[in-house]
Amino acid sequence: MSQGFVGMGVKLLSDAELTDTFVEVPEVNALPEFGQEADEVDFTHLNSPGGVKEYKAGMKDGSGSTIELNWIPGNAQHDALRTAADNGDIVKFQIQWPDTAQTQVEVPLLVKSFKVSTSTGDKVTASIDVKVAGAATWGDWT
């Protein structure tokens, strides 16, 4: 039987309002993929074994993604994230999963934009574009 779990109960927190004080961001619909990918550095030379290219990992680059939420005008967290986007700030975020190990990741993200979308007959949402701006720290949220 699978040991996977459903994403219900996952929390996104940020220190957008007050540095190093993490507060839950309300009404989050979708979390971005957080991760890093290493550049490929080609070390191939004239005598590479078997004529096969040789690679080593180079600098890592964090991915860019989008946080989706139901927009709440006047909410302190939403307002702080909109201000962070206006200023091009780096904000620390935490994701807390409801697994038995209480897994958490903390990652600094460049807040690139805060966009509000309004459609006839649908909910008003906000999209926050972010890019990983440093190394992630894994642990638990006990």
- pLDDT tens digits for range 46-101: 999 999 999 999 999 988 899 999 999 999 999 999 999 999 999 999 999 998 88
Residues whose CB falls within 8 Å of the CB of residue 65, separated by 6 or more in sequence, listed in order: 32, 33, 34, 129, 130, 131
At 4 the pLDDT is: 86
Q: Which tokens go with 18?
A: 């007050």
- pLDDT of 112-133, one tens digit each? 999 999 999 999 999 999 999 9
Residues whose CB falls within 8 Å of the CB of residue 116, separated by 6 or more in sequence, listed in order: 71, 124, 125, 126
The CA distance from 79 to 111, in Å, is: 13
- pTM for this prediction: 0.87
Share of the chain above pLDDT 90, in %: 82
Find, among 29, 41, 49, 130, the residue nearest to 89 by Cα.
130
Contact 62, 32 (CB under 8 A): no
140's torsion region: left (phi>0), alpha (psi -120 to 50) or beta?
A: beta
